[in-house]
Every structure is written in C-alpha cells, then in structure tokens.
Amino acid sequence: MTDLLSNLGLGFAVALSLQNVALCFLGCLVGTLIGVLPGVGPIATIAMLLPITFGLDPVGALIMLAGIYYGAQYGGSTTAILVNIPGEATSVVTTLDGHQMARQGRGGIALGTAAIASFFAGTVATVLIAALGAPLTRLALIFGPAEYFALMVMGLAFAVVLAHGSVLKAVAMILVGILLSSVGTDLETGQERMTFGFAFLTDGVDFSVLAMGLFGIAEILRNLDQSETRDVVRAQIGRLLPGVAELKQATPATLRGTAIGAILGILPGNGAVLGPFASYTIEKKIARDPSRFGRGAIEGVAGPESANNAGAQTAFIPLLTLGIPPNAVMALMVGAMTIHGIVPGPGVMTKNPNLFWGMIASMWIGNLMLLVINLPLVGLWVRLLKVPYRLMFPAILMFCSVGIYSIGSQPTDVMLIGVFGLMGYLLIKFGFEPAPLLLGFVLGKLMEEYLRRSLTLSRGDLMIFLERPISAVLFVIAFAIIAAALLPSMRKSRDEVFTEA
Amino acid sequence: MPHLQPSRRAILAGGLAAAAALPLSARAQGAYPTRPITLIVPFAAGGSTDVVGRLVAQKLSEVLGQQVVVENVVGAGGNVGAARVAKAEPDGYTILMGTVATHALNPLILKRKPYDPVTDFAPVALLAVVPNVLIVNPSLPAKNVQELIALLKADPKKYNYASSGIGTPLHLSGELFKSMAGVQMQHIPYRGSGPALNDVVAGQVPIQFDNLPSASEFIRAGTLRALAVTTKERAPSFPDVPTLAEAGLPNYETYTWNALFAPPGTPRPIVDALNAAARKALADPALVERLKTFSAKVQLSTPEELGEHVKAETAKWTPVVREAGIQAD
Amino acid sequence: MSEPVGGSGARGFVRGPQSFVAGLGLIALALFAIWAGDDLARGTLGAIGPGLMPFWLAIGVGLCGAALCVAGLLRAGAPLQGMPLRGPVVVLLAIVLFAVTIRPFAFGSVTTPGLGLAVAGPLAVLVAGYASPEARLSELLILGLLLTAGCMLLFGDLLNLPIPMLPTALIQALSGTIPSRTLLRIAAGILALFGLGLLLLNRRSAKREPIDVAQHSLTT
C-alpha cells in the first residue's frame, strides 16, 4: 500500500509537470477532435503526429499520444450519439440507445451521461492499473487460443441479445458479418478468399469502412426517404446535462460496465472490444423492462460507455507490463516507445518507473481533462442537431469520405462506403439491424483465427475447448445466453403468431 | 494544437528562402529537393520497419533541407506500398523503405506479382540489417540448439513454432531451420510478432522465430530463452547468444534488411543525391546508437550493391520458399 | 431501428412479404458465397483450410434465409417498403466522384487527374446535396467551400494527414516556388473567401431563413 502511494506520488510528480499537463491536454483535445470526425481514426493521426513528438522527452511524448488515444475513444461516442456513426468498434452499441436519445431531444443527457460514466470508469481503471497492474498480467497469460475462441463465441451470443427485433434476423446478420470478415488474405495459408481478384480486397474490409457505410451512409439514405424522422431529430432539445434522477438510474450500469470493461481490457487478444457489448447485454438482461433498450435507455449509454473507457485504459496493462500491444493503437505506442529509445517489454516498469507511473497518473489527469473539455462542448454538439438536414447530410458525407481516405489513402475504400451504405439501406428496408452484423464482423476474424490456432495446437481435437476450465466456463455462459435469448422468442412466436417476431 | 518544432520551422523557412531565390527554370533537377519528399513505409506504423523509416526520415530531413514525410501505405504484406512507389513519378519525391519481404520474399510467394523487385525500382541504398533470433519458452528442456534439435527429432509431431505470419522472413527462417536441421515442427502463424510473443511467453507455443528487436526485452528479463541468432555474426547487444552457424548449422544465415528504393527511371543525379544523404544521415552517431538500442545494425551500400543484394536474396530464398510449399494466389 | 409496419392484412400466398424477400436475399447471398469460396480447400479439423469457415457460414446464412422464407409464407408480416431512387443514386454518385477526384484513379486505361480535396470536397458536397429535394445551389456551394477550407487547414496543416489537398498539376507547376504548406494555406484562404463572399451575397439577395453555415463549418 505504501509502495502504491509512493509510486503514485512519483507518477503524479511526473505527470503534473507543466509541460506534461500541457501535452496531456493537447493530446486529449486533438483526440476528441479526431474522434468526433467520422472516419478519422486515432491510428492515422498518431502516426502522422509521431514526428512532432521527436523533440519531446519520451514520457511527454507518450502522455500526449495516450491522450490522443483515449480522447479519440471518447470523441467516437459523441459521433455515435449525435449522428449514429460509430467511430470505433467499441462505440457500436452506443449508437443503439445514444442516438435514440438524441432523436428524442435528449442528446445532451446522453452526451453528459457518457462523459460522466467515462470519467468514473477511467478513474477506477487508473486505480486498478496502479494497484494491480503487475499481478493482473498473469491473467493475460492464462488466456490461450482456446480461451479466446470461447470468449469470442460468448461475444457472439451477446450479439443475439443486442438485437431488439427478430432473433432469427439477428443470427442471420451475425453470420453475414462473420462471412464478410473472412474476405481477404487467409492468415494461415496466405490464400486470397473471395476477393474476386480485386487488389483492394486482399486485406479484407476495414472496420471503419464497413461501419461508415452501414451506419453513416445508410442512415443518410434512410433519412432522405422519410421526411418525418428528420424533424424528430431536430425536435425540442431539452435539458443539456443529466439530472440527479438520471444519474441515479445510470449509476449501477456504470459500476457494472466499469468492472466488465476493466477485466476484458486486460486481455491482450483485443478483449476490450467485447466490453461494451457485454455490458449492454447484461443491462438489457437484468432490466425490469428490457423493451426500453434500443429506444433510448440511459443504462444503454452509461454501461457500455463506462466499459469502453475502462477497457481503453486497462488495455495499457499488457502494453506496459508485458510489452505486448493488444490492438493497433497500442502497437503504435510500442513504435513510439522504440523511437524514443525505450524498448517495450517486461522490464519497462522497473527500468523506467518515471514512464510507467507517469503514464498511469496522466491517465487520470487525461480523464479529468476529457470531462473538462467535453461537458462544455455538449451544448455546442447539441446545437449542431439544429442544422437543417439538407445541409447536415452533405457535410457528414464529405467528412466520412475524407476520414476514410485518410485511413489508407485508397479511393476504393471511399467507394466501398457507398457500397456498404447501399447494403445497409437495403438491410434496414428489410427489417435487419446492422449492429449484430458489425459485431459478427469484428469478432468473426478473431474467432476464426483462434479456432484454427487452437485446433492446430490440439492437432484437431475438439476437446481442447472443454478440457481447459476457463474456456469450458465461457462456453457454458455463451450457451446459457443463447438459450435465454431464444426461449422467450420461441414462446412468443407460438403465442403471437400474428405479430412479427 | 500541435505546432511544428522550431527546428523544422527553421528548416522550412530556410527551404522557402532558398526556393524563392531560385529562378523558376532552375527548379528541376539541379536543386533537388525543392519540396517535401514522401517516404512510403509499406508496413503499419509502430512496426520495426516503420521505426527505422521514421528515425531515418527525421535525419534525412535535416540532411536534405526538405521534410521527408513518412506515409504508411499498408497492405498485402507490404506489396501495396511497394507497388505504389513502383508506379510513382520518377522524380525523387516518392521513395520506398523496402525490406526483404517486399523485395525478395513476396515476389516469390505471390502468384500475381504487382511488380518486379529488380526492374521496377531504382535501388538507392541499403540502410540497416536486423538479426532474427530463435527463442523458446524457458520451460522447454532444450538449453541450446543441439538439444532443441534432439528434442524435435525425438518427437517430430509434438512441437509447434510461432512466427509473425505466413511468408514473413521469420516464418521462412523457421522453415530454413527445419530443412537444414532435418527436423519437424508445426508452424503457427500470428498477426504480427506481439501476439506470437504473448503465446510463447505464456507457454502455449514453445518455440518462436522473431526479430531480435521485439524479443530483446523478453530475453533480458528471462521470460524467454534465446538459443541462437540467425546472422553470420553474433549480435552486439547479445554477445553471449551464439549464431545458428556456430551452433551446428554452418551455412544458416537469415536477417531482415531495410533499404531505400526509388521508382524506375529516376535520374542518376537524384539517386546519387539520396544515396549521399542516406550515408550522411546514418553517419550520425546518435542515430546509430538509437538503432543499436533495438539491435538494428547500420549497413550502407551503393545503389549497384543494393541491386546485386536484391538479386542475391531472391536466389537465396527461392529454394526455401519452394521447399516450404508456400505459394499463395 | 426500423418501424415495423404492422401488417395485418394477409394477402395472397405470401403473408409476410418483407420476411419472404429478405429470406430469398439471404439464400442468394449464401449461394454466392459458396460459389465465391468454391476454390478454397476446406481441410480437416487438425488443419482447417481457408474454405471451411466461409462454407459453413454460408450454409448457416442460407438456413436462416430459408427459415425467413418459411416464416414469410406462414406468418403475416410487414409489407415491402417502397424504395425511392433519388437518394441512393445521387449519394452514391457523390461518393464515387469524391473517390475518383481526390487522387489519380485508373479505370483500366483511363486515369482521372488527381484534383485533391480542394476540388473533390466541394464537388462531393454539391452533388450529395441534390439527393434531397430541398437542395439549394448557393447554400450547398457555400457549405462545400467553407467545409473544404476548414478540412484543408485541419487535416493538411494541423494534423498533417497524407491527403492530397490540391490538384497534382498545380503542385507540379508551382513546385519550388512556394512551400507546400504556404500554398495550402493560400488555397484554403481563397476557398474560404469565395464561400464567405457567396454567403454575404446570398444573405443580401434572398431574405430566407438565416442559416448559420459559418458556425457549422467550424463546429462539425
């Protein structure tokens, strides 16, 4: 305990230097900015801003880059709520209830709840990293391919619950999502799958391209053919910040979301993407009235948002204690450390205590700054909703195009958002929901990879999934979730034959 | 908002003054470079090629008096970025950070070749070589290469080895090891070296071939055991680790290399200017030291030597790729 | 998300047309995927080939489709929704125009000139705007110019992202005379001036509802 305090003391001494506070603020500001712009992701931005950090000391540089990362995570939620575009895989679920709240004129409350829930989760996650970072690393090491496969299967089970319409359609969408994720070069054999010889498909479909198309462009197309809804968006704006009653309602969800997100974030196999989905599923399952979800339930924003932010924070654990980057942004941080002469690995914590504890302290400061930056901005964002839609949608379209182009400098990616936009529009027309598809897509790639790796390791023995206790438990949970989702709908379909399931 | 560093601003201002002083007609070759140069790194930001690229680009900017901007053009194991440069204007303003993957392995592995590594580029200079390393989880009973070979021979079906992906220099280092030592082990490909390291540290997979830079801290911390490096000479950062050649595979040599390439038909004076700039940049002791911290060794060449190097590497890898039976479409 | 149009009227053979057609679509997709992945080896459990997952996923999608078809036959459900063409066609056109003008793009032998964001941006906004019947030319021009100017400064100047900003021909013609950053700022300034000029003209001539476009471009 005294160790922890003295370590944190060292961390805050480093992070609170004038230069580092300024850099942290700058990072958070830039991150929020690029997070809010649809399509522009933290990867392209951090990569381009790396040279600017060359002149800084390594701690300052990493504090700024980390600020961009969680600023972008946070800003992505703003876009998800305001215009229904998830900037990151982790903000897909925020679109479900967050955007509904915005449509009901409760956009300010949604944004405020997201900010406060994120801050709370960030604070808890920071303490968690400081206190338990090193022991938690062991958790990262007991997860092998079989456990990750089981985890992904559980994630897909969540996706079934995510949908609020027909379960059958949700399952179909998940399968289509996984199918779509298998397009591209096969990891194990290097063969091209279903690319039809198109060079731009050899690396598969980028998440942002799919999300921007299915959500951003499809939403535009949908709004264009129903003039009533777009007036709903600009209805009365209501209160700007959540009141006591709303915060009370959101608190339990925030607590649960924080716990779930923090645990999943530690897993280096990109477990953090599951956090928001898991949180949403749990909130919906334990809610007294699950039908509120998808129609603007505040818990559907608070839970996933806190899970998202907690996971974004604890994802630093495998990076800082093991030197293993759990996702592309963290891989970039590894590069940044290397450029600054720090080789990431298990020794960073003991060899560079300034860096390690300084970064941890700066995370909390960064979260505070995000709150300070974003709460006043809520009013501004909400006013944006008043812009007439005939001007709003060309602007969104242009930002999506620029953002997507900035990711890979490929004009074909921009065209693909059009293709997926049309696809998303058709899906909506036929009563399908795009969120399960996107989740299937995100998890599908990982799932196949882990499945094949597990079976190669076990030489084809399926028992590997049941012999290992963690994987067995995760499978049991997955089947329980699916059963719980399917049973009521089956009963319902018997009872209410004449209403659509 | 981020601002330019004073030094970069000064360079820009200097460049502006110099450029403004020149008459319009003289702006072609004589004054190269007159505008920022794009260095295409065909791999994701954060990887070892990217790190080398960025460190070199920063120094090149100082030497050339024009910004050298790194652009990561990712895809198809580096082929997308390399193809972009192969088709770029040969004016010296778009150059490539090529590697053993883009200029030797990919052309051998892929059936549909987007470019020819010899004719579609103007070689500029070899920059650095990075050793690979054979590492095992400390729980594996093998303490050295001979013991590992004995272990693999005793139970040819039992062991797996991890690499950062199919067709990467690391995968092929493993395949070369298998064929030269006459052993069997199952290849487990990962998406990059980070996830592979995780599973090897955790003991899910016992053996791995990795770049020395990404594995070095694990070796130092004792969470992984280095059995041998793959270069002809020992790595200066790990003088105690023998080479595979010393350990009983006399002709074994693999390494990852980084080199600058320009589009085909780039005028000789521009190639020479870039080569000279690279030499000057890599003569900087601070940069050499920085590269050394992650075990990359500076190794410069003339444009001709690089051209020969590409041909030699292709010749060396052709039989390995054929024997490993990897041929994608 | 979608408003289920409570279909109570069971007409004809197909009682839930939306489900039925959706099911057919899924079956078609499944067949397409099976065909597309036909060349891939499926392998064994110990060494799963690249074709195994796509094949079984496609089967799964097809089964879901079949189930939906059956549901559409048996159960009364939502009718098919009308599909206006104007929105999708114009929006897609805008996206494609942006993609082919932002940097040189080759369709076989024809290559478009790279015009950069300075041209591609206003073009995309202008064309996209006509997806809505309420489009007004002057308004869209102002929006396009101001947004593009803002984007050029934000992405090009501040964030340094590798997006082509200006026409390639222009950059080459001016190479060596003006540093690229200054050129970018000048160009953004010109676009912004045009936009603001139009805005003023527009305000003075037409007394329509005031729209705070300038503020919009700053805040998006």
Q: pLDDT tens digit string along B223-257?
A: 999 999 999 989 888 999 999 999 989 989 999 99
Tell me the pLDDT band of C155, cut-offs 50, 70 and 90. Answer: confident
Cα A236 to its chain centre, rounded Å, is 29
- Complex ipTM: 0.85
Q: Decide: helix, strand or coil at residue A153.
A: helix
- The answer to whether residue B153 neighbours chain C at the CB level (below 8 Å) is no
B244 assigned to some structural domain: no
Q: What is the mean pLDDT of residues A330-337?
A: 83
Taking Cα atoms as reference points, which of A280, A284, A222 lies closest to residue C2? A222
Residue B72 has a pLDDT of 84
CB A366 within 8 A of CB A16: no
- pTM recorded for the entire structure: 0.83
- B215 in the same domain as B137: yes
pLDDT of C150 over the 50 cut: yes
Contacts of B315 (CB under 8 A, 6+ apart): none
Q: Are A340 and A346 in contact (CB under 8 A)?
A: no
> Under DSSP, is residue B239 helix (H, G, I), strand (E, B) or coil?
coil
Residue B179 inside a domain? The answer is yes
Interface check A82 vs C, CB under 8 A? no
Q: Tell me, what CATH number does B145's domain have?
A: 3.40.190.10
Does B72 sit within 8 Å of A459, measured CB to CB?
no
- For the segment C29-50, the average pLDDT, to the nearest whole number, is 88
| A422 reaches C (C-beta below 8 A) | yes
In the prediction, which pLDDT does C207 show? 56
Asked if A415 has any chain C CB less than 8 Å from its own CB, the reply is yes
Helix, strand and coil percent figures for chain B, each rounded to 5: 45, 20, 35
The 10s digit of each residue's pLDDT in A380-434 is 888 877 788 888 899 989 988 998 888 778 889 999 999 999 999 999 889 898 8
What average pLDDT does this structure show over B187-194?
86
| Set of chain A residues whose Cβ sits within 8 Å of the Cβ of B72 | 47
Instruction: Give the mean pLDDT of A7-31.
Output: 91
Give the pLDDT confidence score for residue A138 in this predicted structure. Answer: 74
The predicted structure's pLDDT at residue C89: 93
- A340, part of any domain: yes
* Terminal Cα-to-Cα distance of chain B (whole angstroms): 46
Residue A501 has pLDDT above 80, yes or no: no
Same domain, B24 and B173: no
Q: Same domain for B84 and B55?
A: yes
CB contact under 8 Å between C124 and A401, yes or no, is yes
Subunits with at least 3 CB pairs below 8 A relative to chain C? A, B
Contact (Cβ atoms closer than 8 angstroms) between residue A363 and residue A129: yes
Cα–Cα dist A471/A451, whole Å: 12
Provide the angle, in degrees to the nearest 10, between the axes of the packed helices C52-74 and C17-36: 160
- Residue A473's contacts (CB-CB under 8 Å, 6 or more residues apart) are none
Chain B closest CA to A324's CA: distance in Å? 5
- Using DSSP's 3-state secondary structure scheme, residue A249 falls into helix
Query: What value does the mean pLDDT take over residues B196-214?
Result: 91
pLDDT at A140 over 80: no
* DSSP structure string for B181-219: HT---EEEE-SSHHHHHHHHHTTSS-EEEEEHHHHHHHH
Q: Which residue has better confidence, B12 or A38?
A: A38
Min CA distance, C157 vs chain A (Å)? 11
Q: For chains A and B, what is the number of CB pairs under 8 angstroms?
A: 153
pLDDT at position C78: 82
Q: Which of residues 176-205 of C touch A (CB under 8 A)?
A: none
Contacts within 8 Å (CB) and 24+ apart, B229-232 = B229/B131, B229/B132, B229/B133, B229/B134, B230/B131, B230/B132, B230/B133, B230/B134, B230/B173, B230/B254, B230/B255, B231/B129, B231/B131, B231/B132, B231/B255
| Average pLDDT value over all residues in chain A | 84
Q: Do C91 and A168 touch (CB under 8 A)?
A: no
Pick from A54, A145, A197: which is nearest to B204 by CB? Answer: A145
Beta-carbon separation of A393 and C128 below 8 A: yes
Residue B195 burial (CB < 10 Å; 0-12/13-18/19+)? buried
Assess whether pLDDT exceeds 50 at residue B21.
Answer: no
Whether the per-residue pLDDT at A182 is higher than 80: the answer is yes
Overall domain count for chain A: 1
Q: How far is CA C12 from CA A430, C16, C17, C24, C73, in A?
A: 19, 10, 10, 18, 10
Q: What value does the mean pLDDT take over residues A447-476?
A: 91
Cα–Cα distance measured from residue B262 to residue B268, given in angstroms and rounded to the nearest whole number: 11
Query: Which pLDDT does position B30 carry in this prediction?
Result: 54
Residue C99 and residue A225: Cβ atoms within 8 Å?
Answer: no
pLDDT beyond 80 at C180? no
CA distance B120 to B122: 7
C161 contacts in chain A (CB < 8 Å): 40, 44-45, 48, 406
Domain presence at residue B240:
no
CB contact under 8 A, B69 and C180: no
Q: Do B48 and A338 touch (CB under 8 A)?
A: yes
Task: Give the model's confidence band at B6: pLDDT under 50 very low, under 70 low, under 90 confident, else very high.
Answer: very low
d(CA A359, CA A66): 8
CATH number of the CATH domain containing B260 = 3.40.190.150
* Residues B36, C175: C-beta atoms closer than 8 Å: no
> What's the pLDDT tens digit per position in B52-95?
899 999 999 999 988 898 888 877 788 888 988 998 889 889 99
Give a yes or no: residue A251 inside a domain: yes
Do B18 and B96 fall within a single domain? Answer: yes
B68 within a domain of the structure (yes/no): yes
What rounded mean pLDDT belongs to chain C?
A: 83
Give residues with Cβ within 8 angstroms of A475, minimum separation 6: A150, A153, A154, A465, A466
Judge whether A346 and A2 are in contact, CB under 8 Å: no
Q: Which of C158, C160, C180 sits opposite B35 (nearest CB)?
A: C180
pLDDT bracket for residue A497 (50, 70, 90)? very low
Q: Which residues in A lie closer than 8 A to residue B73 (C-beta atoms)?
A: 408-409
Model confidence at A77, pLDDT cuts 50, 70, 90, reads confident
The answer to whether position B197 is within a domain reads yes
Nearest to B290 among A144, A331, A341 (CB): A341
Asked if residue A501 belongs to a domain, the reply is no
pLDDT score for A491: 57
Which pLDDT tens digit goes with each residue over B99-144?
999 999 988 887 777 889 999 999 999 999 989 999 999 999 999 9
Does A455 contact C87 at a Cβ distance shorter than 8 Å? Answer: no
- Assess B326–A contact: CB distance below 8 Å, yes or no: yes
* Domain identity same for B122 and B146: no
What residues in B contact A334, CB-CB < 8 Å? 46, 194
Range(s) of the domain holding residue B157: 131-229
pLDDT of residue B245: 93
Last residue of a domain, one of B184, B214, B229: B229
In this prediction, residue A444 carries a pLDDT of 87
Number of domains observed in the structure of chain B: 2
**In this model, does residue B43 exceed pLDDT 80?**
yes
Length of chain C: 220
Which of residues 127 through 166 in chain A touch B, CB cutoff 8 A?
140-145
Residue B166 shares a structural domain with residue B181: yes
How far is residue B187's CA from residue A188's CA, in Å, rounded to a whole number? 9
Q: Give dist(CA B67, CA C176) in Å, integer.
A: 13
Structural domain boundaries enclosing A14: 2-495
Span B21-25, average pLDDT: 39
Band of residue A494 on the pLDDT scale cut at 50, 70, 90: very low
Q: What is the mean pLDDT of chain B?
A: 85
Cβ contact, residue pair C176, B1, below 8 Å: no
d(CA B295, CA B288): 10
Q: Does B245 touch chain C (CB under 8 A)?
A: no
Asked whether residue A110 carries a pLDDT value surpassing 50, the answer given is yes
Task: Provide the CB-side half-sphere exposure for A304 (13 A, CA).
Answer: 34
Q: Which residue of C has its CA nearest to B21?
A: C177
From chain C, the residues in CB contact with A225 under 8 A are 82-84, 87
Task: Report the sign of the C-alpha dihedral through residues C127, C129, C132, C134, in that order.
Answer: negative
Average pLDDT (A15-24) is 92
Task: Please indicate whether, in this complex, the C-beta atoms of C176 and B15 are within 8 angstroms of each other.
Answer: no
Helix (H) or strand (E) holding B125: strand B122-136
* A59 vs A331, more confident: A59
Contact partners, residue B221, CB within 8 Å, separation at least 6: A345, A346, A347
What one-letter code names the amino acid at A4? L
Distance between CA atoms of B246 and B146, rounded to whole angstroms? Answer: 11
Choose between A350 and B211: higher pLDDT. B211
* Residue in B with minimal Cα distance to A450: B190
CB contact under 8 A, C125 and A398: yes
Same domain, B10 and B120: yes
Mean pLDDT across the stretch C32-57? 88
pLDDT band at A324 (very low <50, low <70, confident <90, very high): confident
Q: How far is residue B83's CA from residue B114's CA, in Å, rounded to a whole number?
A: 6
Over pLDDT 70: what percentage of chain B? 90
Instruction: Give the three-state DSSP class for A331.
Output: helix
